[in-house]
Amino acid sequence: LGFRVNPLSPSSPQSLSRLTTQISMYVRDFARMFTRMEAKGLIFINPRFKRKARTLDEALDQCMFRVLDLVDPEDPEAGPIVQLEHEIRSPIKADGTKYKSCPFDDISNL
């Protein structure tokens, strides 16, 4: 697991609006993960971003979707344990090629 910090200039007009925490993760079974999150009502649309994945087709096309609420999978009705935006990414595009921002060199076993 690696973290990168991209510093913004303090005078940048976006500096305050971009100071949010987000985790990005790549998952092997992307479509199944989307379906599970959708069934639990966890898909999140962040209005700050142009890319919005409301459906599985949109998520597959964009190679990503977002969730905000982290819940106990055994008791999701209990509500969020914590809110932390996650961008769930697919390492591969719909055509089977590697997604441009995927950090893995070898995707043959994905």
- pLDDT tens by residue, 57-88: 999 999 999 999 988 888 888 989 988 899 99
pLDDT at residue 13, as a whole number? 46
Band of pLDDT at residue 20, cut at 50, 70 and 90: low
Distance from C-alpha of 56 to C-alpha of 37, rounded to nearest angstrom: 11
Provide long-range contacts, Cβ within 8 A and 24+ apart, for 78-81: none
Placement of tokens 């055994």 in the chain: 74
Band of pLDDT at residue 11, cut at 50, 70 and 90: very low
DSSP state letter for 99? P
Distance from C-alpha of 77 to C-alpha of 83, rounded to nearest angstrom: 15
Band of pLDDT at residue 12, cut at 50, 70 and 90: very low
Query: For residue 85, which of 74, 70, 102 has the smallest C-alpha distance?
Result: 70
pLDDT at residue 19, as a whole number? 52
Does the pLDDT at position 108 exceed 60? yes
